[in-house]
Structure 1
């Protein structure tokens, strides 16, 4: 099954596209840490950053740099931070996050769960103790 990013790249899902070239796309994160939080994604679906071949890795970093420079010129911030987590979506993506304080890099305040989700999660964790 294609990742959510592949579905965005294929035009099956909407996005707020910032930039695109033959191998990459940059879109605003719809669940941002800060205003301007952007995702840079290779069009080729690869799960883990270091599974990219050397040229693809370098290309993604060069594309991300270009986008980060544009974000820094557009969004008032002290700097643009970069993170590669990869746990939520099994498709390589670089987070570019405008930063004014260290807390802006944290992903802790982005999760919202309802009561049944909390209960199911607690049960699942307990089952694995």
Structure 2
């Protein structure tokens, strides 16, 4: 069965992308822990991170690191948080968000963002930070694409 993330990746469902390359995409969470909360997702459907081949897992974490640098820069955060949970969608995804303390990791506080302009603004801000850092993979991620 095709996952919701695969449907976002193919454009069947909307997503605010901040990174696209041949193997990995990153798009904003619609239920962010904080503004800039991003999901790093391999294009290939793999449910658990423990089942993915090492090279693709390594690439996922390379992209997560780049996105982490971007969220730190864009929101002037002391840290970029990273969580691999995997219960929400059966498609490997890495949560990356700007964080200030451990309470920022409380997923029970995550609520669906009703203000689309807030999500779009966060995507624009994060893409700009990634481009400033030299990550060209953020260039072709059109707002609202």
TM-score normalised by L of structure 2: 0.74
Alignment partner of 2:97: what SS? strand
Q: Alignment partner of 1:81: what SS?
A: strand
The total of aligned residue pairs comes to 112
Q: Does 2:56 align with 1:59?
A: no
Deviation at 1:71, TM superposition (A): 1.3
Q: What is aligned with 2:49?
A: 49
Structure 2 residue runs of 5 or longer lacking an equivalent are 113-145
> Residue by residue, what CA displacement relative to the aligned partner does 1:40-91 show, whole Å, maximum 9, x if unpaired?
0000000000100011111111111111111111112121110000001000
TM-score if structure 1 supplies the norm length? 0.83
Instruction: Tell me: higher relative CO, structure 1 or 2? Use CA pairs within 8 A at least 6 residues apart.
Output: 2
Q: CA deviation at 1:110?
A: 2.9
Q: Distance in 2 between matches of 1:39 and 1:88?
A: 12
Higher gyration radius (CA): 1
Gaps of 5+ in 1: 113-129
